[in-house]
Chains A and B, each alone.
Chain A
Amino acid sequence: MKPLLKILASLEVTIGAFVLAMVLILFGTIDQANLGIHGATEKYFYTVFVTQYIPSLDISVPYMPGGYLIGFVLLINMTAAIVYRFKFTTDKIGIWLVHVGFILLLLGEFISSVFQHEASLTIDEGQTVDFTESFRDSELAIVDTTDPDKDRVYAIPQVMLERKQQISVDGLPFNISVDDFMPNSVMQRRNESTPDFARLANRGIGLQAYALPIAETGKMNDRNVPAVIVTLFSKESNGQSSEVLGTWLVREFIPNQSVSYGGREYTILMRREREMLDYAITLKDFSHDRYLGTNIPKNFSSDVTVLDKDTGLEQDFLIYMNNPLRYDDLTFYQQGFMNDDKTSILQVVRNPGRSLPYISCSLMTLGLALQFGISLQRFSKRRKKAAA
């Protein structure tokens, strides 16, 4: 065996990686109190290096290997060990199963980390919804409301807004220039003492109020409310300059603002980023049972109908705790409720690597049980021998 391979396949690397993994997980857990689960997961686990941003130097310094790096090292280490170190004998079959299962587990978690997508679906009793909303990201939506029967929606996702560039959307007669983007904000009333930077907006709400950037939150029960300042100007330029429509402040939880241009009516608003579904979900009834005489929830359930837009097929489902609805490639589970038990909140998860943990964990459990059984047998044989 070549020296490099020997190192790669060595137990020292295994133990080292496991110890680092423990340290990483410990830090990643404790920091959840500050960053929230999502924030800590991104910072510690779904990254090659854990970095610390140093404002004075304006660089991020890596100080700890992240989940991806440790996982990758373990993957190489296991594979090398299986190929070069393990002998394939019947009494080692348990060991084999455990390690092959572990490799699959690492791959599965990697796939989940990249492709797993979580969103939510908030629905009132009697309402029909055919989209999910992102937990964290918002979008700028420009809705063409000219046609009273049908709205046309142009949505600009948060990642594009974050770049603070000029955006040109096909179908809209004007361009959108993102002057400012605040990942999280609060609203303030505009008056004489308002600083100049907050006086950019010259149309709509922005004349009476302004948004102030605040620190982002990653907490579970808290959400960022981004604000954006956009200037709209016509695509067609007459000669040198194009016509400027105005500058708007747009944020969630403020009244919709309208813009007229070129004989068409538009509404401009911020909302949670949406993903359209190929089917529509109607909430027939939401129920919330409590234990007698208490506020302890016994069960929440949503009685829904799913209408497939393509086939026209209608199906009824009951979603309740520990019993989600799996439809298409999504899983809808009962997450919460609000509005005096008239609104149900479903969490929606897409995870293409869903079956991998099942396979890998079955392999590993089987392997461990086998190996443990073999050791136990050996132990009792030895005891019998010693007793004899």
Chain B
Amino acid sequence: MKRSLFTIIALAVFFGTIYSNYKRQTPKSELDYDSFGQIPVVLNGRVQPLDSVARNTLLAINGKSTATYQDGSRHQPIEWLAEVLFQPQLAVDRPVFRIHDDGLRAILPHKEPDQSGSMIKRMLLGSGSSHHYYSLNEIRTVYDKIRQDAVEASEIEGQLRNRYQNAVVNLANNVIRFYNLTRTVHHGESPSFIEELTALQTIIPAAIEETEKQQRGEDFDSSKLSPMLSFMQVYRTFESESLFFTHPRPHVDGEQTWLKMSSALDEITRDGKPSEVTLHYATLVDAYRQGDAETFNAALPKLHEAIESIDPEATSKATAERLFNYLSPFYVSIIGYVIVFLLAVFSWPFGSQALNRAAYWTTVAVFVFHTIGMGFRVYIIDYAPVINLYSSAIYVGWGATLLALIIEKLFKNGIGSFVASVIGIASLIVAHHLIDGKDTLEQMKAVLDSNFWLTVHVLTVTFGYAATFFAGFFAIFYVIAGITTKLIDKKVAKMLSSVVFGIVCFSTLFSFFGTVTGGIWADQSWGRFWGWDPKENGAILLVLWNVIILHARWGGFARTRGIMAMAIFGNVVTSWSWMGTNMLGIGLHSYGFMNSAFQYLAGFWVLQLFFIALAYLPQSRWKSPVNG
């Protein structure tokens, strides 16, 4: 029991984190936002729950995962979305548009930095950035200029735009997106959606009669026709402006054929009455506007049922994705890895096997949670786990943790857990920054749409990255621990060097096999095995570097220290292959272009070179004995 005490505490803390994070996601409200967020719609070519629409949109507009209103109150994305969809008159005053660019702020109404809060807090944290957030109504006053500048800027290629131009294009897109949301469920031109439907139903039969007369070439009463036509007029503009599809339709040849609200309304003129889905949405709109929580909550299960009866798969995917959002497995995993990190670090000075054990079992738990997160993504989009740069970062962290667990199982000295936690934290934070306001569960462009090759090629080559990083971080551990502590005795040094060498072998195998399968994929789909594309070249660099390490050891050119230094340089090569090649913005693989992240990458390289330099400090500077 005593042996396991730390393990039990650590696991309890981790599971407590999962639970409290989950609880935090539900807004405190009489309205059933959990169920509302679970409604499936189609946006970006895929079924997703309203909760995801809310999160991704808010993140793009606001840069944060919650919205802060005028009164300083914080709201979950789904609350904000409900207001935007159903009662835009209120939503246009919410200061949710984040504008960091000074030039852009200069043309907007001036805002004073928030002076509330204590003096000490302001001194410590600065005056905050509340004056960087604007509401649509505030932006509207100068929107003509913004639109004009955005149109001009959008004619310039993305890479060549300056800061202001990027900011203005971004803002214009966000304003359009916001406006489109307000026109997605209801056009807002009549106060009550249900009354509108009732009115439609009464005028339509007569109008249809007149239309038929008109078609037959008989005399017809145009006054009976015009009310319907004016509705259709409204629906037509509403069609092009609405953002997502609300009405499922039975699959045709396995293809999704959802309709937008406007098309569904248009169909009333044919069917004579609104569909179930339309009716329930209309109830939601009116109940929300009247603050009638009871009716609102009662309409939700009916709406779910109506959608499920037509497209059950959409319902189950949306449910899964809502759960995935609430669990936020990758965010929680970061916390888990931090726990592992602390446990591993403290296990050494105290020489504590119990802490060590706790670190190991917490790593196992975090790994399982990390895996569940990836499983959710695979289920939701039906693709292999790696489809873009974001998911590759998630996968690199996962792969490194898997290796660490194996190493830890073999050697039981906490180093494996430690390295897993460092790579886990780093890769998940990198992943978080790669989201960049986009939907990370995107649909695959036609050229990449092959699950077989995604699995065989992308998963292996990315696992090669993970393995190389793993060896590199082990080597960094060797250098730092060797210089600062007496931890690296002969036995540990031998263990570390055999682990690094073993992992380099492993990474050679994976990166080689991954590169080759990439070539085969290219040959199968484009008729050429190798095209000197930047990403292909990046992959071959990684293979070459691993091969050089292996030969240097076999030839006796590098001993423990040399191998460690070379393994650290492997981090540089891998980060180039993984991220750097995408920054060139050329070639067939520039699926994850980023221009702002280059400085971080360069910083990472400098840091690695610094570690390599440290590795070659004279022996007298090392606290641990060092050879080679």
Stretch at the interface among A170-178, A249-257, A288-296: A288-296
The one of A11, A331, A376 that contacts B527, using a Cβ cutoff of 8 Å: A331
Q: A321-B447, A333-B526, A351-B527 are in contact. Are A365 and B42 (CB under 8 A)?
A: no
Is A375 an interface residue when CB atoms closer than 8 A count as contact?
yes
Give Cα A349–Cα B257 distance, bound, in whole angstroms. Answer: 37
Stretch at the interface among B130-138, B281-289, B547-555, B607-615: B547-555
Is B470 an interface residue when CB atoms closer than 8 A count as contact?
no
Give Cα A72–Cα B585 distance, bound, in whole angstroms. Answer: 32
Q: B506 → chain A, closest Cβ, in Å?
A: 7
Interface string of B570-601 (1 = CB under 8 A from A): 00010010000100111100000000000000
Interface string of B536-552 (1 = CB under 8 A from A): 01101100110110011
Decide if A15 touches B555 in the complex (CB within 8 Å): yes
Is A297 an interface residue when CB atoms closer than 8 A count as contact?
yes
Decide if B528 touches A351 in the complex (CB within 8 Å): yes
Q: Which residues of A contact B547 (CB under 8 A)?
A: 18
Q: A11-B551, A300-B446 are in contact. Are A368 and B509 (CB under 8 A)?
A: yes
Stretch at the interface among A27-35, A131-139, A226-234, A308-316: A27-35
Beta-carbon nearest neighbor of A46 in chain B: B532
The interface on chain A, measured as residues whose beta carbon lies within 8 A of the other chain's beta carbons, has a size of 60
Decide if B532 touches A40 in the complex (CB within 8 Å): yes
| CB proximity to B under 8 Å, residues A15-63 | 15, 18-19, 21-22, 25-26, 28-30, 32-33, 37, 40-41, 45
Q: Which residues of B contact A358 (CB under 8 A)?
A: 520
Is A369 an interface residue when CB atoms closer than 8 A count as contact?
yes
Q: A251 → chain B, closest Cβ, in Å?
A: 27
Q: A15-B551, A15-B555, A32-B587 are in contact. Are A372 and B523 (CB under 8 A)?
A: no
Decide if A294 touches B537 in the complex (CB within 8 Å): no
Q: A358 → chain B, closest Cβ, in Å?
A: 7
Interface string of B491-522 (1 = CB under 8 A from A): 00000001000100110110011001001110
Q: B314 → chain A, closest Cβ, in Å?
A: 12
Beta-carbon nearest neighbor of A38 in chain B: B532
Decide if A220 touches B46 in the complex (CB within 8 Å): no
Is B148 an interface residue when CB atoms closer than 8 A count as contact?
no
Q: A15-B552, A22-B544, A22-B545 are in contact. Are A292 and B532 (CB under 8 A)?
A: no
Question: What band does the interface of chain B fall in when counting residues whose beta carbon is under 8 Å from A?
Answer: 35 or more
Q: A11-B551, A293-B245, A354-B529 are in contact. Are A372 and B506 (CB under 8 A)?
A: yes
Give Cα A351–Cα B527 distance, bound, in whole angstroms. Answer: 8
Decide if B528 touches A112 in the complex (CB within 8 Å): yes
Is B449 an interface residue when CB atoms closer than 8 A count as contact?
yes
Q: Which residues of A contact B551 (CB under 8 A)?
A: 11, 14-15, 18
Give Cα A290–Cα B255 distance, bound, in whole angstroms. Answer: 11
Q: Which residues of B contact A33 (CB under 8 A)?
A: 584-586
Decide if A324 touches B527 in the complex (CB within 8 Å): yes
Give Cα A278–Cα B553 distance, bound, in whole angstroms. Answer: 55
Interface string of A365-388 (1 = CB under 8 A from B): 100110010011001000100000
Give Cα A368–Cα B447 distance, bound, in whole angstroms. Answer: 30
Q: A15-B552, A30-B584, A372-B509 are in contact. Are A321 and B525 (CB under 8 A)?
A: yes
Decide if A41 touches B529 in the complex (CB within 8 Å): no
Q: A28-B537, A291-B44, A293-B244 are in contact. Are A361 and B519 (CB under 8 A)?
A: yes
Beta-carbon nearest neighbor of A332 in chain B: B527
Q: Which residues of A contact B450 (CB under 8 A)?
A: 322
Q: Which residues of A contact B521 (CB under 8 A)?
A: 322
Which label, helix, strand, loop or mixed, suits the secondary structure of the A interface? Answer: helix
Q: B587 → chain A, closest Cβ, in Å?
A: 7
The one of B516, B534, B545 that contacts A32, using a Cβ cutoff of 8 Å: B534
Q: Which residues of B contact A347 (CB under 8 A)?
A: 526-527
Give Cα A167–Cα B539 distance, bound, in whole angstroms. Answer: 47
Give Cα A348–Cα B527 distance, bound, in whole angstroms. Answer: 8
Beta-carbon nearest neighbor of B508 in chain A: A368
Q: B73 → chain A, closest Cβ, in Å?
A: 33
Q: A22-B541, A321-B449 are in contact. Are A375 and B45 (CB under 8 A)?
A: no
Give Cα A125–Cα B526 distance, bound, in whole angstroms. Answer: 22
Q: A30-B584, A297-B445 are in contact. Are A11 and B555 (CB under 8 A)?
A: yes
The one of A296, A326, A376 that contacts B445, using a Cβ cutoff of 8 Å: A296
Decide if A357 touches B530 in the complex (CB within 8 Å): yes
Q: Which residues of A contact B508 (CB under 8 A)?
A: 368
Decide if A292 touches B257 in the complex (CB within 8 Å): yes
Beta-carbon nearest neighbor of A34 in chain B: B586
Interface string of B36-72 (1 = CB under 8 A from A): 0000001111100000000000000000000000000
Decide if B45 touches A291 in the complex (CB within 8 Å): yes
Decide if B534 touches A29 in the complex (CB within 8 Å): yes
The one of A18, A333, A361 that contacts B516, using a Cβ cutoff of 8 Å: A361
Give Cα A22–Cα B548 distance, bound, in whole angstroms. Answer: 10
Give Cα A29–Cα B584 distance, bound, in whole angstroms. Answer: 9
The one of A14, A22, A37, A383 that contacts B410, using a Cβ cutoff of 8 Å: A383
Q: Which residues of A contact B410 (CB under 8 A)?
A: 383
The one of A41, A292, A354, A375 that contacts B245, using a Cβ cutoff of 8 Å: A292
Q: A26 → chain B, closest Cβ, in Å?
A: 7
Is A116 an interface residue when CB atoms closer than 8 A count as contact?
yes
Beta-carbon nearest neighbor of B542 in chain A: A22
Decide if A32 touches B586 in the complex (CB within 8 Å): yes
Q: Which residues of A contact B526 (CB under 8 A)?
A: 324, 331, 333, 347, 349
Is A168 an interface residue when CB atoms closer than 8 A count as contact?
no
Is B113 an interface residue when CB atoms closer than 8 A count as contact?
no
Give Cα A41–Cα B584 distance, bound, in whole angstroms. Answer: 16
Decide if B537 touches A25 in the complex (CB within 8 Å): yes
Q: Which residues of A contact B44 (CB under 8 A)?
A: 291, 293-294, 296
Give Cα A122–Cα B621 distance, bound, in whole angstroms. Answer: 68
Interface string of A108-127 (1 = CB under 8 A from B): 11001000101000000000
Give Cα A351–Cα B260 distance, bound, in whole angstroms. Answer: 48
Is A87 an interface residue when CB atoms closer than 8 A count as contact?
no
Decide if B502 touches A26 in the complex (CB within 8 Å): no
Q: B11 → chain A, closest Cβ, in Å?
A: 29
Question: Besides A21-B544, A322-B525, A375-B505, 6 other CB < 8 A contacts?
Answer: A116-B528, A322-B524, A324-B524, A324-B526, A347-B526, A361-B516
A interface list, Cβ under 8 A from B: 11-12, 14-15, 18-19, 21-22, 25-26, 28-30, 32-33, 37, 40-41, 45, 108-109, 112, 116, 118, 220, 290-294, 296-300, 321-324, 326, 331-333, 347-349, 351, 354, 357-358, 361, 364-365, 368-369, 372, 375-376, 379, 383
| 26 pairs, CB–CB < 8 Å, chain A vs chain B | A11-B551, A15-B551, A15-B555, A25-B540, A26-B541, A28-B532, A29-B584, A30-B584, A33-B584, A291-B44, A291-B45, A293-B258, A293-B260, A300-B446, A322-B447, A326-B527, A333-B526, A349-B526, A354-B529, A357-B519, A357-B523, A361-B516, A365-B512, A368-B512, A379-B498, A379-B502
Closest 3 pairs between A and B when the two form their complex, measured CB to CB: A291-B45, A331-B527, A349-B527
